[in-house]
Amino acid sequence: MNAEQRYVRVSGPRQLEERAGDEQPPAPDGVIVDITYSGICGTDVHGYTDGHMLPPAVFGHEWTGTVRAVGAEVTGVRAGQRVVGGVGPACGRCRQCLAGHARQCDTVFAEANGVDEAAPAHGAFATRVRVSARRVIPVPDALSDIEAALVEPATVTFHAVRRTAMELGSVVVVQGAGPIGLLTAQHARNAGAGRVIVSEPSAARRNTAEKLGFRDVVAPQELSGLLERATDGLGADVLFECAGVASLFQPSAELVRRGGTLALLGFPLTTSTVSYGDWQSRELTVIGSLAYNHEDFVGTMRAIAERRIDVAALHTGTVGLSQLGGLLEELDSGESAHTKVLVDPRA
């Protein structure tokens, strides 16, 4: 435990500071992980520009690394093992678990949002993190380090598609082809969608979607026409809203057939206005999705290992800790050609 420890945190709106961490042993039920890569998420960008909205542990929440040390009470993970940051199994003790709703475990929800009692003091834009052993999940040998770094966003989307429980052969629209949209589209295809239509304003991201094997990839202004032709005017069986743009919520709902499903993945930062009467009269099923469960990580890594989804294709760049601020500014501009950028704290 004598190598230098550094981390970057948000210190104010559009302000970052790099700090040296104190050397600490793992908690009895915890581990120390040397970070290999940490992914930059849209949430990180919002947290950077806002300056105070994120719990400290969430700024840098997509990560993979190697266990450096384990606490005396830890079983199931060992020093030298590759892991990803995730959430533990349902605790069996919280109100949700005791009421029989283990998939909505309060402990897991707190871990996913970085507000549990054992949450680390900073996220994984760092050389090292000190976390609860519940939070680390071993990485299969079949996954590369790059793939392991992309497990977390792939798990967010696995969870969302799983929640919709779509019927085989469904006509699916994915609105937004950023990392979340591209991963959602792949999971929907795996889940048995009969046709997947991807809508995205960025030509570069549309090109990535096509490289991933999607043939119905259009600019937003072309979506309604293609959907009308594909469904004879009926509308989508399932629409995944992955852009997080509040003004799109009602127009998105109007693309869904009567009795269909609107799944919300994108997280808006402003108030949304929708037509309650429209949603009610057309009997839409509206499914919100946030974060994941432990079993979602297991299923996601299995899908990557079996080459059912391609996460590495989303990786478009790697930067060091010192370059993080500039990259966050670029991503916030809306003009970046990047899909997914990783931070290598060793660079």
Number of domains in the chain: 2
Q: Given its phi and psi angles, is residue 213 left (phi above 0), alpha (psi -120 to 50 degrees) or beta? A: left
The answer to whether residue 299 is domain-embedded is no
Residue 293 lies in a domain: no
| pLDDT class of 1 with cuts at 50, 70, 90 | very low
What is the structure's pLDDT at 24? 87
Tokens read off for 33: 């992980």
Mean pLDDT over each residue of the chain, to the nearest integer: 95
> Are 145 and 172 in the same domain?
no
End-to-end CA distance of the chain: 20
Tell me the two tokens of residue 216. 């119905």
Residues 184 and 119 in one domain: no
Section 74-89 average pLDDT: 96
pTM score of the predicted model:
0.95
- pLDDT (average), residues 329-340: 91
Side chain identity at residue 55, one-letter code: P
- My answer on whether 245 and 132 are in the same domain is no
Contact of 291 with 86, CB cutoff 8 Å = no
The predicted pLDDT at position 3 comes to 60
Which domain range does residue 336 map to?
A: 6-150+311-343
> Which of 85, 240, 107 has its CA nearest to residue 162?
240
Q: Which helix (H) or strand (E) holds 128?
A: strand 128-132
- Within-domain flag for 36: yes
Burial class (CB in 10 A: 0-12, 13-18, 19+), 335: exposed
Q: Find the mean pLDDT for residues 109-127.
A: 95
Asked if residue 160 and residue 146 are part of one domain, the reply reads no
Average pLDDT over residues 289-299: 96
Tokens for 273, please give them. 């206005």
Find the DSSP H helices in the chain. 42-50, 95-98, 106-112, 145-149, 151-164, 179-190, 203-211, 220-231, 249-253, 276-281, 294-305, 324-332
Kind of pairing between the strands at 340-343 and 315-319 = parallel
Span 13-36, mean pLDDT?
A: 93
Over residues 95-100, the mean pLDDT reads: 98
22 has pLDDT over 80: no
pLDDT: is 4 or 249 the higher one?
Answer: 249
The answer to whether residues 327 and 282 belong to one domain is no
Q: How far apart are alpha carbons 47 and 57 in whole angstroms? A: 11
pLDDT tens-digit readout, 182-197? 999 999 999 999 999 9
* Inside any domain, residue 144: yes
| Sign of the alpha-carbon torsion through 291, 128, 30, 115 | negative
Instruction: Give the least confident one: 115-119, 170-174, 177-181, 245-249.
Output: 245-249
55: its two tokens: 């719990």
